[in-house]
């Protein structure tokens, strides 16, 4: 799908209940959120809005995404779930992004950001995932990450070590996140991990609807 098509699709997934407290028209807030999550930098998003006749700061655009509180919806079912974790940097500190993806649909089921990776953290992530979606009977696909394999064993979930195949879908998600790391420095400098996690979850919602 062409990028212009991806950007012109329905935006009902963006909850703009906060708009009544904003002086920017709803359609331009949607436009700014959609384009920034799709890959446009904050600076270029500001330029795009200026071309539409609205002058807003990078901070304003960033705040729209935080206020929209976008998170992947629950209630999905999957026969297979690819799970992984990846190191990212937020404000020059290392954090670990955990993600679960349905490899049949390429949809992100759940993401969380943690300060480290351990078996207890893996269990916390899996518990949240199973509470959110009907995946308790799914086969979980992991690489050789000991923390996730150990967490799956302790949670009594079926898993299979798989380096390629269906696990390629979760790797695609992480490649997209890494592509956006250059924008994180604009978004997350002098900001905490909660801000980063909110943005990452919002990006997951965009991914699922793109």
Per-residue pLDDT at 199 = 84
Instruction: Determine the average pLDDT of the residues in 121-138.
Output: 96
Phi, psi of 101 (to 5 degrees): -130, 140
| pLDDT for position 131 | 96
pLDDT at 120: 96
Q: What is the arithmetic mean of pLDDT over 62-75? A: 85
The radius of gyration of the chain from alpha carbons, rounded to an integer in Å, stands at 18
**Nearest-angstrom CA–CA distance, 109 and 77:** 10
* pLDDT value for 122: 96
The mean pLDDT of 91-99, rounded to a whole number, is 86
pLDDT of 179 above 90 = no
d(CA 85, CA 151): 13
Q: Domains in the chain and their CATH numbers?
A: 3-68 (no CATH), 80-190 (3.30.420.10)
- Taking the C-alpha atoms of residue 56 and residue 34, their distance in angstroms, rounded to an integer, is 16
């Amino acid at each position: 799908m062409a990028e212009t098509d991806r950007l012109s699709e329905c935006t009902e997934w963006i909850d703009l209940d906060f708009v009544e407290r904003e002086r920017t028209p709803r359609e331009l807030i949607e436009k700014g959120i959609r384009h920034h999550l799709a890959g446009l930098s904050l600076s270029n998003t500001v330029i795009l809005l200026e071309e539409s006749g609205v002058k807003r700061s990078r901070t304003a655009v960033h705040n729209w995404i935080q206020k929209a509180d976008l998170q992947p919806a629950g209630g999905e079912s999957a026969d297979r779930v690819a799970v992984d974790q990846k190191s990212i940097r937020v404000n020059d500190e290392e954090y670990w992004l955990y993600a679960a993806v349905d490899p049949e649909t390429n949809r992100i089921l759940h993401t969380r950001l943690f300060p480290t990776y351990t078996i207890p953290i893996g269990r916390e992530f899996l518990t949240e995932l199973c509470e959110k979606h009907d995946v308790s009977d799914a086969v979980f696909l992991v690489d050789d990450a000991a923390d996730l394999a150990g967490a799956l064993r302790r949670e009594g979930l079926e898993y299979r070590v798989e380096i390629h195949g269906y696990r390629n879908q979760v790797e695609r998600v992480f490649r997209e996140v890494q592509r956006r790391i250059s924008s994180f420095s604009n978004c997350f400098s002098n900001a905490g991990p909660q801000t980063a996690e909110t943005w990452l979850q919002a990006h997951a919602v965009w991914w699922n609807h793109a």
